[in-house]
Amino acid sequence: MSAHSTSRAFAWWRASRPGFLLVTLFAATTGIAQSQACGCGWDPAAAVVTVLLALLAHAAINLHNDVGDALGGSDAVNHGRIGPFTGGSRAIQDGVFSLSEVQDAVKVLAGVVVVGGILLAARVGPALLFLGLAGLALGWAYSSPKVGLMNRGWGELSVALAWWAVVWGADLVQRHQFSALAAISGVSIGLLVAAVLWVAEFPDAEADAQVGKHTLVVRWGPEVGAVVYTGGVFSAHLWVAAWWWVDWLPSTAWWALGSAPLSLWAAAQLWRHRRQPQRLRWALQCTVAAAVLHGALMTTAFVAIARLR
């Protein structure tokens, strides 16, 4: 591979925002591990394909978001971004790729995911196809100028639902049927991924407001935004604790509460600097770390139970 090709490949890798892909990796492994924990099946090949398709779908959604924000103009006027956490990858604004190149890349990745999902659904059942298409539709609608969930105050909910679906879908691939356990365990991950989006909206709020991108932080302001963020991350951990307490989640599920200190520290930083968004780097870092750690600990908790079987 030539130096130019290597450079281009690395540029695409950066544009996909790989740091955020970790939340999807552990959302998928949580679904896979919990099916093993209950002895409901283990298909290694399908597990690998599930993870790869989930990561490609997330990369496509990230690039699609760059397209949506380029067309809407928010990234171009965003001078207060805290890279790489907010304001997109800036691959289009910095001239690394043209708008049409990124649009083409989204189509290619989405095509691969759809074809792969159809083949996987042929092995698992049509329910997987429905769930996968629903997740892709939410990712498309979030950034699409025609629908623009992110502009209408529905972006945060759509993100939580999409990552909840990742956990549920990964479990479905192994179990071949829907599971109440998967529906329960995916909620906290969905909430913590939505928290990543939520805190990122603070540094982007001024630019978003300029172009009519009415996220909930723009609509409600920093005070209410900080309250909702705190309530969201607290609810994510309370959800796990409550279902663990009533024995719906396994005995090791309390391990996932290990992400709570990071979430609480992020909430404290957000409260302190809610009107000084340029000082929210710590809050952003801890929010992403909490979502990743929570998924990793949830996966580990289920794997531990599976090893005892």
Q: Across the chain, what does the average pLDDT equal?
A: 92
pLDDT at 213: 87
Structure confidence at residue 4 (pLDDT): 66
What pLDDT is attached to residue 36?
Answer: 85
Confirm if 50 and 170 have CB atoms less than 8 A apart: yes
Q: What is the pLDDT of residues 182-201, one digit of tens each?
A: 899 999 999 999 999 999 99
Residue 15 covered by a domain: no
Q: What CATH number is associated with residue 90?
A: 1.10.600
pLDDT in tens, 131-188: 888 888 888 888 887 788 888 888 899 999 999 999 999 999 999 888 888 899 999 9
Q: pLDDT above 70 covers what percent of the chain?
A: 98
Q: What is the pLDDT of residue 308?
A: 72
- Surface-to-core class of residue 9, CB atoms within 10 Å of its CB (0-12 exposed, 13-18 middle, 19+ buried): exposed
Packing angle between helix 44-72 and helix 155-175, nearest 10 degrees? 160
At residue 1, does pLDDT exceed 60? no
Confidence of residue 295 (pLDDT cuts 50, 70, 90): very high
pTM of the model: 0.94
Question: Which residue did the predictor score with more confidence, 234 or 2?
Answer: 234
Q: What does the alpha-carbon distance between residue 276 and residue 203 come to, in Å, rounded to a whole number?
A: 8
Nearest of 111, 110, 59, 113 to residue 89 by alpha carbon? 59
Residues 194/43, Cβ–Cβ less than 8 Å: no
Residue 218 lies in a domain: yes
Angle at 225 between CA 210 and CA 27, to 5 degrees: 100
Number of neighbouring beta carbons within 10 Å of residue 37: 21
Instruction: Look at the chain and report how many structural domains it folds into.
Output: 1
pLDDT above 90 covers what percent of the chain? 70
Nearest to 69 by CA among 172, 134, 192, 155: 155
The reply to whether 3 falls in a domain is no
Say what the pLDDT of residue 219 is: 94
- Position 115 confidence tier, pLDDT thresholds 50, 70, 90: very high
Task: Assign 2 a pLDDT band (cuts: 50, 70, 90).
Answer: low
Q: Which domain holds residue 116?
A: 21-308
Note the pLDDT of residue 307.
Answer: 78
Q: What is the pLDDT of residues 37-51, one digit of tens each?
A: 887 778 899 999 999
The answer to whether residue 61 sits within a structural domain is: yes
pLDDT score at 194: 96
11 located within any domain: no
Q: Has residue 5 been placed in a domain?
A: no
Instruction: Kindly report, residue by residue over 85-99, the tens digit of the pLDDT.
Output: 898 899 999 899 999
2 within some domain: no
Instruction: Establish if 102 belongs to a structural domain.
Output: yes
Query: For position 31, what pLDDT does the model report?
Result: 94
Please say if the pLDDT value at position 282 is more than 70: yes
* pLDDT range class, residue 309, cuts 50, 70, 90: low
Q: Per-residue b/e over 95-127, b at no fewer than 16 CB within 10 Å?
A: ebbeeeebbebbeebbeebbebbeebbeebeee
Decide if 69 contacts 145 (C-beta within 8 A): no
